[in-house]
């Protein structure tokens, strides 16, 4: 404010924003400035307060203290339209598009008054194609959203923001659903936008992307702004330390000793369910003492494969063999009985029951058999003892076995699930997005446990959207695309870019 010229350059100023939820302080006196033509990265673990901060900026929450200024004008708190009108556009992690409408209609929807939708379409179409050209956002304005790929949908979201004359773009974890190639294209678009004077806030926890795209990095931890550094003056390791507040050591790779095939799929296909892609003639061998990694853009059949191993899905055609022989009916209970340990993708909705205690959650898969139950009678004392043992052994931080599990952080919830799965001594382990949303400490712990299980002779199938994670942990890698499974690649034989080609659907026998 003292210097006139910089004051004009500042497009967004957050001033001592504080937001409390009960005893939790989600944002604690956060201040920063965004300048014209600048990309800043907002880095932080899940629960660090990134989303809360953005919700305050967009008027979904009212800050308890502090102010937001856009282009020098204070934003009225708690008015969701104000930020949009002031030229701030947001691209959410989960898209907000209507599947059954065209690209153009989606861009106009909520932008233009309804009565104008029919009129002025020519002008709107010109504006959209101009924007698309200027920013390298290639997409057919008449295509239905439902027929677009995830990367294309994201372009529509960005176009929508630009169409509304956004001068500040906020992207929330934009690369989570993209292939490496699509990510590169996105970064080119962002660079074009910056060249035209837009300013960008890039929210992420992927360090290499932060290093690649941003000029400045803001690090949030436990609701506080703990660091603000020029990207050039830092490196991934320092950023990670700032994010966690402690030094971290990733699990060291150890040589695997693959054993017998414990589960094999031969040309297995499954039915498509709703918007979940089914499997198409998948061949897969899971070997003892080996981590098989499954890479791919989410929604390409990983869900179907996970359901199949979990017992929720049965093959429509093809054969599924377990080392122990067949079971009459393939159900979740049969899968558990056959020694398949399942770490589900969504620990909140599938893995646990929020209002159940830790004890009740810990015995979900074992409650039918002694010692937990005899002849239909629950032995809650035994269940609680077992839960205490899991809490101890897997370092679950919680008030006690009787606490409701929804009070736990994602990491501790996942540790309880790990305990539930590993204590049953599974021979095959399905780990579906086992570290998604966990903080780095918990990530390391979970990954160590998976490697330890492998070394103890389990066959592990690791499904992850995070290619880096797959590359770091897997002894062999498959790529999934549109329900098809690539051949097996041994560790280190494929670069990320080469895997990206498979992720985009090329290289398969039936590729067009």
Partner 1 sequence: MRLEPVANPGLARSLGYPAVALGLTVVVASLLALAAKADPFATLGLILKGAAGSKFALLETLNRATPLIFTGLAVAVAFRAKLWNIGAEAQFYAGALVAVLLGTGALGFLPGFLLIPAMAGAAMLAGALMLLGPVMLKVRLGVDEVVTTLLLNFIMLLFISMLLEGPLKDPMGMGWPKSEPLDRAARLGRIVDGLRLHWGFGLALISAAVVWIIQARTTLGYEIRAVGQNPQAARFAGIPVNLVLVKTALLSGGLAALAGWSEVAGLKGNLTLDISPGFGYTGIIVAMLALLHPGGVVISAIFVAGIFVGADSMSRAAGVPTYIADILLATALLFMVLAILLTRFRVVRG
Give the SS3 label for residue 132: helix
String marking each residue 303-322 x if it binds partner 1 according to CB under 8 A = -------xxx----------
Helix (H) or strand (E) holding 104: helix 103-108
- Cα(221)–Cα(404) distance, rounded to whole angstroms? 25
Least distance to partner 1, CB of residue 413, Å: 12
Burial of 111 (0-12, 13-18, 19+ CB in 10 A): middle
**Which C-beta is closer to partner 1: that of 195 or that of 407?**
407
Helix H or strand E segment including 446: helix 440-455
Binding-site size, partner 1 (CB under 8 A): 36
User: How far is CA 381 from its chain centroid?
Assistant: 38
Return d(Cα 16, Cα 36) in angstroms, integer: 21
- DSSP strands (E only) in 22-81: 24-35, 39-43, 65-70, 73-74
Site for partner 1 in 66-125 (CB under 8 A): 77-78
Position among 376, 492, 510, 512 found at the interface with partner 1 (CB under 8 A): 376
In whole angstroms, the minimum distance from the beta carbon of 282 to partner 1 comes to 21
Pairing verdict, β 489-490 and 224-230: unpaired
Residue 456: closest CA among 309, 256, 285: 256
Q: Which is nearer to partner 1, 77 or 258 (CB)?
A: 77
Q: Which is nearer to partner 1, 212 or 334 (CB)?
A: 334
Q: Which of 96, 196, 317, 368 forms a contact with partner 1 (CB under 8 A)?
A: 368
Residue 198, Cβ neighbours under 10 Å: how many? 23
Asked if 401 interacts with partner 1 (CB under 8 A), we say no
Cis geometry, peptide bond prior to residue 36 (ω within 30 degrees of 0): no
Q: Nearest distance from residue 365's CB to partner 1, in Å? A: 5
Q: Which helix (H) or strand (E) holds 396?
A: none
- Between CA 295 and CA 500 the distance in angstroms is 9
Smallest distance from partner 1 to CB 447, Å: 23
Q: What binding mask, one character per residue, do residues 167-206 give for partner 1 by CB under 8 A, x or -?
A: ----------------------------------------
Tell the smallest beta-carbon distance from residue 78 to partner 1 (Å): 4
Tell me which stretch binds partner 1 (CB under 8 A): 99-107, 143-151, 181-189, 345-353: 345-353
The verdict on 284 binding partner 1 (CB under 8 A) reads: no
* Binding test (CB under 8 A) with partner 1, winner from 332, 441, 457, 496: 332
Residue 255 engages partner 1 in binding (rule: CB under 8 A):
no
370 lines the binding site for partner 1 (CB under 8 A)? no
Q: Exactly one of 352, 386, 414, 486 binds partner 1 (CB under 8 A); which one?
A: 352
Would you count residue 62 as binding partner 1 (CB under 8 A)?
A: yes
- Kindly state the smallest distance separating residue 180's Cβ from partner 1, in Å: 32
3-class SS letters over 160-225: HHHHCCCCEEEEECCCCCCCHHHHHHHHHHHHHHHHCCCEEEEEECCHHHHHHHCCEEEEEECCEE
Q: What is the distance between the alpha carbons of residues 88 and 162, in angstroms, rounded to a whole number?
A: 10
Among 150, 356, 423, 457, binds partner 1 (CB under 8 A): 356
> Shortest Cβ distance from residue 334 to partner 1 (Å)?
8
User: Of 176-184, 217-225, 273-281, 361-369, which segment contacts partner 1 by CB under 8 A?
Assistant: 361-369
With CB under 8 A as the contact rule, the residue among 331, 382, 496, 498 that binds partner 1 is 331
* Residues 6 to 25 in contact with partner 1, rule: CB under 8 A: 21-23
25-to-19, 166, 219, 326, 366 alpha-carbon distances in Å = 6, 30, 16, 53, 38
Element (H, E) at 459: strand 459-463
- Residue 436 in contact with partner 1, rule: CB under 8 A: no
Does residue 386 sit in helix, strand or coil?
Answer: helix
CA angle 284, 287, 293 (to 5 degrees): 60
Contact status: 344 vs partner 1 (CB under 8 A): yes
Nearer to partner 1, 290 or 352 (CB): 352
Distances (CA, A) of 426 to 177, 323, 337, 382, 456: 31, 13, 9, 21, 10
Is 3 a binding residue for partner 1 by CB under 8 A? The answer is no
425 touches partner 1 by CB under 8 A: no
Q: Which residues bind partner 1 (CB under 8 A)?
A: 21-23, 61-62, 77-78, 310-312, 331-333, 335-336, 342, 344, 349-356, 360, 364-365, 367-368, 373, 376-378, 380, 407
């Amino acid at each position: 404010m003292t210097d006139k010229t910089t004051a004009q350059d500042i497009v967004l100023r957050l001033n001592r924003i504080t937001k409390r939820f009960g005893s939790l302080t989600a944002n604690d006196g956060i201040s920063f400035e965004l300048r014209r033509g600048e990309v800043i990265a907002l880095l932080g673990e899940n629960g660090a307060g990134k989303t809360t901060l953005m919700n305050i900026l967009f008027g979904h929450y009212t800050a308890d203290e502090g102010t937001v200024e856009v282009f020098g004008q204070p934003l009225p708190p708690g008015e969701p339209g104000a930020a949009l009108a002031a030229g701030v556009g947001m691209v959410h992690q989960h898209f907000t598009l209507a599947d059954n409408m065209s690209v153009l209609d989606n861009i106009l929807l909520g932008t233009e008054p309804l009565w104008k939708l029919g009129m002025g379409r020519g002008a709107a179409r010109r504006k959209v194609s101009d924007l698309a050209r200027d920013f390298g956002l290639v997409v057919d304005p008449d295509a239905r959203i439902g027929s677009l790929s995830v990367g294309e949908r994201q372009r529509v979201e960005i176009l929508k923001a630009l169409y509304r004359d956004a001068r500040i773009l906020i992207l929330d974890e934009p690369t989570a659903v993209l292939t490496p190639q699509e990510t590169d294209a996105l970064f080119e678009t962002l660079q074009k936008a910056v060249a035209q004077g837009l300013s960008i806030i890039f929210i992420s926890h992927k360090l290499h992307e932060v290093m690649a795209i941003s000029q400045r990095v803001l690090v949030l931890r436990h609701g506080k702004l703990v660091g603000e550094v020029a990207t050039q003056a830092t490196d991934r390791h320092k950023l990670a330390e700032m994010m966690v507040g402690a030094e971290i050591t990733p699990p060291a790779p150890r040589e695997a000793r693959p054993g017998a095939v414990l589960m094999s799929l031969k040309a297995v296909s499954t039915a498509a369910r709703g918007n979940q892609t089914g499997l198409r003639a998948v061949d897969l061998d899971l070997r003892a003492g080996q981590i098989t990694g499954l890479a791919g853009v989410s929604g390409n059949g990983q869900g179907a494969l996970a359901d199949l191993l979990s017992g929720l899905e049965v093959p429509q055609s093809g054969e599924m063999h377990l080392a122990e022989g067949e079971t009459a009916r393939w159900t979740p209970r049969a899968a558990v009985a056959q020694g398949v340990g399942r770490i589900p993708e969504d620990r909140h909705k599938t893995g646990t029951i929020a209002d159940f205690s830790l004890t009740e959650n810990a015995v979900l898969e074992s409650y039918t058999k002694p010692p937990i139950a005899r002849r239909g009678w629950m032995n809650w004392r035994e269940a609680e003892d077992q839960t205490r043992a899991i809490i101890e052994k897997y370092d679950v931080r919680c008030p006690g076995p009787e606490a409701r599990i929804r009070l736990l952080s994602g990491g501790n919830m996942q540790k309880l699930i790990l305990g539930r799965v590993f204590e049953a001594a599974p021979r095959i382990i399905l780990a579906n997005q086992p570290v998604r949303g966990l903080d780095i400490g918990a990530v390391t712990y979970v990954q160590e446990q998976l490697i330890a299980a492998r070394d103890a002779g389990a066959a592990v199938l690791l499904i992850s959207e995070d290619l880096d994670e797959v590359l770091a942990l897997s002894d062999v890698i498959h790529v999934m695309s549109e329900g098809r499974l690539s051949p097996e690649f041994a560790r280190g034989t494929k670069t990320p870019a080469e895997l990206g080609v498979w992720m985009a659907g090329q290289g398969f026998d039936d590729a067009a």
